[in-house]
Structures are given as C-alpha cells and as structure tokens.
Structure 1
C-alpha cells in the first residue's frame, strides 16, 4: 500500500496518485514530441511571467498542473527526432525506465558495501569498454557529461605530468610549478573550460597545424612542434574522436605514436565519436584508441540516455585517485568510486546506461550508429545538390556542416530563424574555416527517413526566402 506523505505541507498527498499523474503527463508529451515545434518561439519565452514563491505550498497536483499548462508547451523537442543541435540523443525507452527508477531508488553511488549500485556502475563501465574495444586496463567512472569527463582526465594527466618532475601537485598545488602545455588541433570548448578550472589556464593550449582542408591534427606537425619546443614538464596531447563541426577524427594511432615517442600523455575527447566503434563500418575511425592514457565521452549523446550523463576512462587510476581522494574517517579509503571524480555524492547515473545496454545490446547500438550516419549522409547529399546551400565538409560520421551560398552572417542567421520559426527542425550556428555555418547532428534513436525528408523540405523553403 502506498504511504501517505506527512511532511509539512505534503500531508495528505498520495504518492501513487502523483506518480500516476506524472506517468500520464510524460506519456502524453512523448507521444506528441514529433509533432510539437522543435524549438519554443522566442517571443513566447520572453513573455513568460513566473509565479512568486507561495507562502502556502500549492501541493504537487496543482504545481504539476500549472507546469504542464503554462511551461511544458515552451519546452523544446530535444527528445524528438528532428532536434539536430548539440548532438542530443534523446532517451531510449529502456534508458527512460532506468532514469525514473534511479530517482525512485535514490542511491548515493559513492562507496561499496551497502548497495549493489556501485556494482552496477562497474558492470556498466565494463560493457562500455567492450562496446568500444577499450582494454580492461582502463578504469572508469560516471560523471555529469563529457565536460566533467575532460576535467577529470586532464586533472589526472596534470598529476601524472608533474609527478614526472618530482611534484605531487595534489598536495603541493601549482605555486612555483612550471606550466604544462596542452597540444591540440581543433579542440572542443570543454577542453578550454577544463584547463581553466584546473588552474592551468587557457593559454596553456597550443594549437597544432591541421591537415589541409580538414579539422584534424597533422601528426607530422605535432612531431615537429614537440621536437622544436623544450618543455619543463611532459606535455598533454588532446586528440578529437569526432570534431564538433564536421565529425572528423584525428588519426589516433599516428598521434599516439608521436605522443609516446616524446613522452607525452594522450587524451582522447570522444564525446560522441567514440560510438563509431560500435559499427564495423566506422570502427576504423577510432583505430589506436587503446593507446590513449585517458578517454572522455558522453552517454546522453549517442548512448541515448537522459541528461546529464558522461563517463571517463584512464589507465592511470593511482594518479586519478591522488587528485580526487576524499579524506574523512567516515568515507573510508578503499577503492570507492567517490575517489575517482569531483563529486562525493553521486547519483545512480549508471542505471539508465545499464538498462539500455542490456535492453538493446551490441547489435542495437551498431544499428543506431549506422542509421544516424546514413541520415547524415542523405542530408549531405541533398545539400550538395542544393542551389541554396553548400556542404562545407565531407560527412565523416553523423554531423553535417553546411552554409548558405552567401557568406554573410545575416543570411546564415536568416535561415536559422526561418527554420526555428517553422518548428520542424532545430540546428545550431557555428563557424567553420572562418565562415558562418550551420551544423546538424544526428544521434536520436527515433529519427527516421521520413524525418530527413521533412528537414530537407524545411531547408529548401528557408533557403528560397
């Protein structure tokens, strides 16, 4: 029997009725998400007036009713098939079930000993290693997303690099320590954020020349750069497995060989591109991944679990735990997961990932990756034949980078505004090779060929304006 809630203003609420109403509301939303405007009208967002904090609480039913009537209509369709910005995956049914249960179970996945939840996280990480072909020598942890995964990985790299010159930076700090260079070709903005958070400074990033016509590191240029520079501490090389604008990949094996030759740490930012490993047709793009020292990725992208979820792997667990060890008699000093990430309190974030991996397996994710890449290829072919747009880069995986034939920012923005207002699709603006551009990212399990036809028509109409 469901308990009555007896906490302050909660007295009299029935949990079974509340959960039933939430289920019905979520089902109604998801049933219509493909028909909803993919992005909320900006004028409507600006016009919203939120209520003040009530002196006497409304109760859950009234609060839920208010939200659904007044605010839910202004949510985006990011869970749906034509939201093509930010590499948003949506949630598979299994992942949604896991996420709901994670909230209900409310486990603090910090330490072993009182719950199987930590075992589920370790098992999920093992399944991800198997999916990507990552050796068992890599230890992992779930975090809030690839940005936090990059922070964890680069903090571990920082600890490793300074230890090579006799500094335990986790104890002594950075005062008086020589700078560490992070060498990258076309890094994601989260790499910049990570080095800022870690006190290394954004200026520590040194850009390596790119292969002509592509947004990837030239391994020969990396080798020459390392030969020419004398560094006081070992460097960190940050490689991209899926560049943000084009989905292109650094040659991980060639970059790894250069990094090893010069005694540098190799970090691979594979926020979405790591999933290329799931499909034999694209797995060659991550050849050499096993040579990395650390790997970062998102689960709320191509794994299609709810926000926020990411994971990090490293082969240097001792250095990682030196950075993130939490000292406290009540915390223990064992191999607990809280010693691997910035958070002591850790949500049962692995359960949605466990559920969806078990539900669909290796073959399900192979098919998902392949289908998304086919969608990107088809849209790329449409744009290549278009009289209104130019395809700015080859479609390497699941991202399409294009622009109006005009090179003016205002024409790019006009197209985006028309698409936004039409409600049939959503794209994000970007700059590629100095040119105002648009990117479309395919990673949602529910996108179909019919959706690609809708997107193509919306682009044709916007381009003709």
Structure 2
C-alpha cells in the first residue's frame, strides 16, 4: 500500500475529527459568515508527484479555498432557492459517502441499497399526499428530473405514432405547450433533441400572473387538430411561485390526448402547508412530476426526484434501459434503476432525504414550509410599507419580487443589488418580471427567522439612503 494511504488509514479517526471540528465551526458560526466573498481567487496549482497526505491537504484547502466558502446554506442566502441542510440530512450525507454504494438493483447478493431509495420515494409520496401509483427515483437536480420525465414523454409521443424514438431517433417535431417554464425544462428539451425553441408559448392570465391562460391553452390545443402533445405546467413559477390551474388542466385531459408534466421543483412543497395546499388540487393527475429536494426539503446538493405514473413503466424502461446488458434480465421483472433513469453510476442520494424525513416527519416539514411562507409574507409587508421599495407581484408562497419605488434606471438597481450582496449580510438574485428588471428573494431555509428579515431590511435602508 502507498505510504501516504497507509498513514492516512492509521490516522483516519484523527483526520475525521479535524474535519468534524471544522464543519461544526462552520455550522455554529453560519449566521456570521458572509453571504458573498471578496477573497482573491488563488492561482491553479499542478499535481504533486508524491502527494501531501490528508492532514496537509486539509491545511492547503484551508489556506487556499476555505475563505472563499460563503454561507449559502445559512439563513440569509435568499438567492437561487437554496435550502440549508438539516442536521439529520448531513448525518445521512456523511454515511452515504462512507458506505459509498451504487444504488441500482433491489434483489440479489450485491449492493441492494436501492431498497432505501424505493422506501424514500414512498416517504416523499406520503409527505405530498400523492398516490402510490408513481414510480420515482433520485437524480442530481431539477434539470435531470425534468430531463427524465420529458424523455418518457418523448417516448410516449413516439408510441402514439407507432414509433420508438429511443431506438430510432426523433423523426418529427414534437409539440410542447407551456407558459412560464423553468430554464431547466427548456434545457432538457434541447438535450432530448426536441429543440429549446420548438415550444408553443401559451399566454398567461392577464394581470400580475405567470400562470397559464386556460382559454388560450385550449385554443392552441385545437389548432393541433387532435395531434398528441406535451404540456409542461408549473407548480410554482420561478419568480412569483404562481400555480397553473390543475383542476382545469385535468378537465382538458379528459377531452384531449396529451402528456401532462408538472414542474413542482419547490412549489410542490405547498402540499405541506395547511393554508396553501389548495394550490395543488388535482396535480396528482399529472403523468410526471419534478421535485427538487435540495431546495425546500433542506438536504445537501445534489438531490432531486422524478415521479412518473406507473402505467408508463414500459415507456420509461424503453427510454433508459441498458439494452446491451442482457445479464440484467427482463427490466420489468427485475427492477433496477439502471433501466429507469439516466445515470449508470450514482451515489446513495436518497439517504440524506431518508434521514431527514424520518427524523422530522410530516409535522417537521410542515413547520419548515409554514415558517418560510410566514417570513415571505413578513418581508413582503415590510416592502409594501417602505417608502423606497415596491412589490411587483403578490406574495403567493415563499418568493418576493420587488424593485425600487422611484423609477430606477438599470444602473441604479444594479448598484443597489451589488452593494446589498457585497455587504455579505444577505444574497438575492436579479430577475426580470414582465420585462422589468427586478430583485428576487426566496425563503426556503429552515434556519431563517424574523430577526434575519429585520437585519436585511435595515441594511437595505442604509444602502438605498446612501444611493
């Protein structure tokens, strides 16, 4: 054995204690760690011939990169819809690395950790009150979840025309109807060969809405003259968390032949709220659903779930099966994630989610979601009462979209946001809402409190007064 490997193995407990101590220091001081970094980016170093060993490598990391690490998992990082990791999810994540499983098969004598994943999917269905008629699995994020669901939708479109797109390739344009899709869904259309520009854009409801106009949707459906299509609906748009009318879409599905995909990356968590779950009525009639766990489930990156109705199991297998691996047997008789999702090699992504769901249960996640919604409303009220800021859309769930009250030019708004983020006390993201440049804040972190909102509002006021 290599001497450095042997040395690290003999000191393994001590090395892990140092990492644990450093990790606890980050967690215990996360409120004070800046949300942005002004550190100089170090020059790239080449590979050492002999290596440094674990202890010196940790020291090198701390010298070169640790100061760059921002509190993106902290209570005032309100950009990109990032959830912080719960204590239990970190436990699961550490063990996922230690056990280093490749969860694929559920039978046999090899790695059968995929059974943990199957159970975790059932816990997620319970959390969202979804029927057991969905097959699900873990992927890296909303992009791959949308990709997986839309790949099965693509195969469904082909089969309606008597073709196998997975084997033969796409031979015709596939109609995709949507109003306010997330960029990851558009990227997925490009990756799947359906074309990111080949969508039929549906009008949104008039006023400050991002939801599909059902009247325009039906008008566009009629123009297809009975041709099957894919509908991408939103359970929480990226800016204002607007929800499409699922009851109306369900009614359309009774008349027209289409694949219904719902992107519920973080808006699906409204199902955990006693006051907001009505937004999701009838979403369980979707053929497929995207959920993002490293958002409101508050587990570490990379973690998302795809859900596809079990009745489409054959189509999913046709889309992803390892056709050149006959030793795997019949993919429908011998379940194996190799045949149900894009990756052949995966870490045990389900374990952090399993730990967190088991640790905190339905009531725990209801409290996380309700707290986030309450804080969004609190911040929204502060914006409404301000003399300097204005809300651009009503607070529907957990996102705030706002602007400066005085008519700003782009430079003033950019200067304000750059100074705000540069303060290191909070991080928000720029966005566009109805062609107007704006700022978006998203509440999903289990640590955030009203004190954090008050601190941010004070900083916003200080900066706008200076400008």
The separation in 2 between residues aligned to 1:85 and 1:112, in whole angstroms, is: 38
> Which residue is 1:219 aligned to?
214
Q: Does 1:317 align with 2:318?
A: no
The separation in 1 between residues aligned to 2:397 and 2:300, in whole angstroms, is: 22
The separation in 2 between residues aligned to 1:272 and 1:152, in whole angstroms, is: 17
> Which residue is 1:131 aligned to?
127
1:71: how far off? 1.1
CA offsets, 1:213-245, max 9 Å, x none? 2011011110111112336x5110000111001
Q: Does 1:93 align with 2:90?
A: no
- State TM-score, norm by structure 2: 0.95
Q: Does 1:271 align with 2:268?
A: no
Query: RMSD value over aligned CA atoms?
Result: 1.3
The separation in 1 between residues aligned to 2:225 and 2:189, in whole angstroms, is: 21
The question of whether the paired residues in 1 share the 8 Å contact of 2:388 and 2:404 is answered with: yes
CA offsets, 1:136-180, max 9 Å, x none? 111101111111000000000010111011011112111xx2211
For residue 61 of structure 1, give the secondary structure of its aligned residue in structure 2: helix
CA offsets, 1:13-35, max 9 Å, x none? 22112111111111111111110
> Which residue is 2:12 aligned to?
15
The question of whether the paired residues in 2 share the 8 Å contact of 1:338 and 1:346 is answered with: no
For residue 254 of structure 1, give the secondary structure of its aligned residue in structure 2: helix
The question of whether the paired residues in 2 share the 8 Å contact of 1:89 and 1:301 is answered with: yes
The separation in 2 between residues aligned to 1:330 and 1:410, in whole angstroms, is: 62
> Which residue is 1:202 aligned to?
196
The question of whether the paired residues in 2 share the 8 Å contact of 1:373 and 1:397 is answered with: yes
1:285: how far off? 0.8
Superposition pairs of residues 75-224 of structure 1, within 5 angstroms = 75-113=69-107, 114-174=110-170, 177-213=171-207, 214-224=209-219
1:330: how far off? 4.0
The separation in 2 between residues aligned to 1:407 and 1:161, in whole angstroms, is: 47
Residue ranges of structure 2 left out of the alignment (5+ in a row): none
> Which residue is 1:60 aligned to?
54
CA offsets, 1:223-276, max 9 Å, x none? 111112336x51100001110011111112212322442111110000100110
> Which residue is 2:375 aligned to?
375
1:52: how far off? 2.4
> Which residue is 1:3 aligned to?
none
The separation in 1 between residues aligned to 2:342 and 2:153, in whole angstroms, is: 15
The separation in 2 between residues aligned to 1:256 and 1:157, in whole angstroms, is: 17
The separation in 2 between residues aligned to 1:185 and 1:118, in whole angstroms, is: 36
1:338: how far off? 1.6
The question of whether the paired residues in 2 share the 8 Å contact of 1:246 and 1:401 is answered with: yes
The separation in 2 between residues aligned to 1:367 and 1:139, in whole angstroms, is: 27
For residue 437 of structure 1, give the secondary structure of its aligned residue in structure 2: strand
1:442: how far off? 0.5
> Which residue is 1:306 aligned to?
300
Distance 1:234 1:107, change over 3 A: same
CA offsets, 1:301-350, max 9 Å, x none? 00000000000001122111110001313444321112111011121000
- State TM-score, norm by structure 1: 0.95
For residue 377 of structure 1, give the secondary structure of its aligned residue in structure 2: helix
The question of whether the paired residues in 1 share the 8 Å contact of 2:104 and 2:112 is answered with: no
> Which residue is 1:343 aligned to?
343
The separation in 2 between residues aligned to 1:7 and 1:160, in whole angstroms, is: 52
1:116: how far off? 4.6
The question of whether the paired residues in 2 share the 8 Å contact of 1:238 and 1:267 is answered with: yes
> Which residue is 1:37 aligned to?
34
The question of whether the paired residues in 2 share the 8 Å contact of 1:407 and 1:435 is answered with: no
Residue ranges of structure 1 left out of the alignment (5+ in a row): 1-5
